Amino acid sequence: QKEVEQNSGPLSVPEGAIASLNCTYSDRVSQSFFWYRQYSGKSPELIMSIYSNGDKEDGRFTAQLNKASQYVSLLIRDSQPSDSATYLCAVNREGSSYKLIFGSGTRLLVRP
Amino acid sequence: NAGVTQTPKFQVLKTGQSMTLQCAQDMNHNSMYWYRQDPGMGLRLIYYSASEGTTDKGEVPNGYNVSRLNKREFSLRLESAAPSQTSVYFCASNLWTGDLTPLHFGNGTRLTVT
């Protein structure tokens, strides 16, 4: 089992729809969770960070964390073609908080 | 604001050649990292430096060495390049505050080993 799992996609949604991206992780005591966006040929850029159970909203983005079920999700409301990218979920590994483990990413396509 | 700067941006090596990837950050971060990214594999941690003077292995350290030259600079060396090291390499940094804060990435180095 991979430490951080994501569906590779592509996830295709029409412009204006809600895109829902999911991530599961295996380490029960992970504390820090991040969503990064990566455009093709570019470096990852931070979208959201979340440390506590529940929802965290920032503009059109909402991160949801459920530690009991070991999943973290990212909702993108009013999806735009410019949101088309690969979204990487990252989780820290217990016992070594410096080690951030990345999922392989979900490719999102927003159709105009 | 330069952020995290990596050099070179592209490199082609022959099997057995050596090279050093350079990384510098100007954000006064104490922790620095080297990741590699391969298609379908996500980002994998090669080495990290929690603070100046310390380095530790990540998930895939074999074939690499690192040097934390000072607080700003963290280099990655390939002593004898192999085709399996063809990848995109990202340097990253963050400020360790007791919680893991987000990483800031450089623009990457695209390395091909023939």
Q: What's the pLDDT score for residue A64?
A: 97
- C-alpha of A62 from chain center: 10
Inter-chain touch A46–B103, beta carbons under 8 Å: yes
Residue-level pLDDT at A94: 61
Question: Greater confidence, A96 or B21?
Answer: B21
Whole-Å CA distances, B107 to A42, B35, B72, B90, B104: 7, 12, 16, 7, 10
Q: A3 falls in which pLDDT band (50, 70, 90)?
A: confident
CB atoms A43 and B102 under 8 Å: no
Q: B-chain residues within 8 Å CB-CB of A51? A: 99
Residue A95 has pLDDT above 60, yes or no: no
Q: B64: which strand partners?
A: B78
φ/ψ bin of A83: left (φ > 0), alpha (ψ from -120 to 50), beta (otherwise)? alpha
The pLDDT of residue A72: 96
**Residue A1 above 70 pLDDT?**
no
Q: A5-44: per-residue pLDDT in tens?
A: 999 889 999 999 999 999 999 888 878 899 999 999 999 9
How confident is the prediction along chain B (114 residues), in pLDDT tens digits per residue? 679 999 999 999 999 999 999 999 999 999 999 999 998 778 999 999 988 999 999 989 999 999 998 999 999 999 999 999 999 999 999 987 766 678 999 999 999 999
| Chain A contact set for B106 (CB, 8 A) | 43
Residues B105, A44: Cα–Cα separation, whole Å:
7
Of A34, A42, A103, the CB nearest to B102: A34
